[in-house]
Amino acid sequence: MENFELYLPTRHVFGSGVENEVGARLKQLGMDRVLLHYGGGSAERSGLLGRVRRSLDAAGIYYVELGGVAPNPRLDLALRGLELVRAENLGGLLAVGGGSAIDSAKCIAMGACYDGDVWDFYSGKAQPQTALPVACVLTIPAAGSESSNSSVISRVDANGTVWKRGAGSELIRPVLALMNPELTWTLPPSQTANGVADIFTHVTERYFTNSTGTYLVDQFCEGILRTLVRYAPLVIADPCHAEGRAQIMWAGALAHNNLVGVGRVQDWASHQIEHELSAVYDVAHGAGLAVVLPAWMRFVYRHDLARFVRFATTVFGVENDPFDPEGVALAGIRRLVDFYRSIGLGTSFAEIGGKVEDIDRLISGIRWDAEGQLGNFVKLGPAEVREIYRLMHRS
Ligand code: NZQ
Ligand code: ZN
């Protein structure tokens, strides 16, 4: 096990009706002037925003609203939020929604305390020294942004090129995450499935490691993956499956607050590859990951056959065959593809609108590390990523 440091400052308040406590909870935290930030309309339609406003009013919280955060949130809107925070002298952010609203709020939180261009945090030019506090009411289990230390934003250049980049800082872990699983009952099946694929991949990015002595945390990882495999079909069949919605919502937070990532070198190649798919095709992040992860697995599985055998047998219940570890490993990957397809996800490049002629652009846009590589479980260069794209043609 590698040395690690983990500080998880987010207060998770979980259960039916917790959104009605938002005003009182913000008051307790001293967040009495906030930007109320949300997405494209789902929270208004469901009545959630009305309940949030009533709770803020009852607690005497001053708030200014900025809606319209798009999936794959854009820098321009965050910059408008930044202006509002400064003009209104606001001291915190309240995001109502999923990863997109929360990430946009995190961007504003960092930018409000910085004299330079907030994009510096996404391009790797600077690290924030301080940030405003962020609270959230979560409406979709997926990105894990409700308690993660990262924010992913897309910037569109004048020529139309989209740069999707992440910024990471312990300063942007939300101070408060209100998590009512009933709020996810209105999710369309496609968004539910996208979220499951994102949560699944947050775990595999950590699980597939070259670090040793990871016995305890490996089992946490497998527990989350098995939970998704068990409950995802149930909530797809019945959107109001209370137990399933609750299990998946909690899995989403645990998968990405790094509790199951400590003590190991993590990978993250699949995420870096996917961010270009979202940038170029504007596909949902989880939908892109459902295509990338199986292809990545098919490319790297021989690197550590034993780990892939373990994945196949513990997560998908594939029967072990000590005489055919490769067959068992491949059966595990096949079961992952079948699982994704059973909940309505596409698993091939073409199904998310991918075009062969875009592959050079998709590869060149990737944020490579200082050595021009990607990932850690297996180090990938452009030639290896090209091969992964080839494997994405299979479903
Ligand atoms: O915009 P509205 O109208 O609210 O609709 C949203 C949106 O269209 C809808 N939705 C959300 N909750 C709903 C609902 N519809 C009905 N009922 C509800 N209860 O779902 C759509 C997707 O929402 P979004 O917030 O975009 O989803 P998600 O949580 O998957 O966030 C995706 C973003 O997070 C980034 C992704 O790259 C992507 O930009 N990520 C952020 C991470 C982080 N900060 O730690 C890590 C992740 O790996 C990821 O990269
Ligand atoms: Zn993700």
- Averaged over successive runs of 10 residues, the pLDDT of the chain (395 residues) comes to 97 98 98 98 97 98 98 97 98 98 98 98 97 98 98 95 95 98 98 98 98 97 98 98 98 98 98 96 97 98 98 98 98 98 97 96 94 97 97 84
* Ligand 1 pocket test, candidate residues 121, 145, 249, most atoms within 8 A of CB: 145
pLDDT at 393: 87
> What architecture (CATH level 2) is domain 185-393?
Up-down Bundle (1.20)
Chain center to CA of 154: 14
CB 327, CB 321: distance < 8 Å? yes
Whether the full predicted model's pTM is greater than 0.95, yes or no, is yes
pLDDT at 395: 67
Ligand number, closest to the Cα atom of 73: 1
Q: Name every residue whose Cβ is closer than 8 Å to that of residue 217 and which is 6 or more positions away in sequence.
A: 206, 260, 261, 262, 263, 264
pLDDT at 7: 96
Ligand number, closest to the Cα atom of 47: 1
Please tell me the distance between residue 20's alpha carbon and the centre of ligand 2 in angstroms.
28
Helices (H), 64-183: 75-87, 99-111, 120-123
CB 150, CB 116: distance < 8 Å? no
Domains 11-183 and 185-393 share a fold: no
User: What residue ranges do the domains of the chain occupy?
Assistant: 11-183, 185-393
Residue 71 CA: which ligand 1 atom is closest? 26
Report the alpha-carbon distance of residue 220 to residue 226 in Å, rounded: 10
Report the alpha-carbon distance of residue 311 to residue 297 in Å, rounded: 11
Residue 194 CA: which ligand 1 atom is closest? 30
If 0-12 CB within 10 Å is exposed, 13-18 middle and 19+ buried, where does residue 5 land? exposed
CATH fold, domain 11-183, is: Rossmann fold (3.40.50)
Please tell me the distance between residue 6's alpha carbon and the centre of ligand 2 in angstroms.
20
Q: Which residue has the tokens 């962020």?
A: 134
- Residue of the CA atom closest to atom 8 of ligand 1: 71
CB 277, CB 362: distance < 8 Å? yes
* Ligand 1 pocket test, candidate residues 152, 185, 206, 258, most atoms within 8 A of CB: 152
Please tell me the distance between residue 286's alpha carbon and the centre of ligand 2 in angstroms.
7
CB 374, CB 272: distance < 8 Å? yes
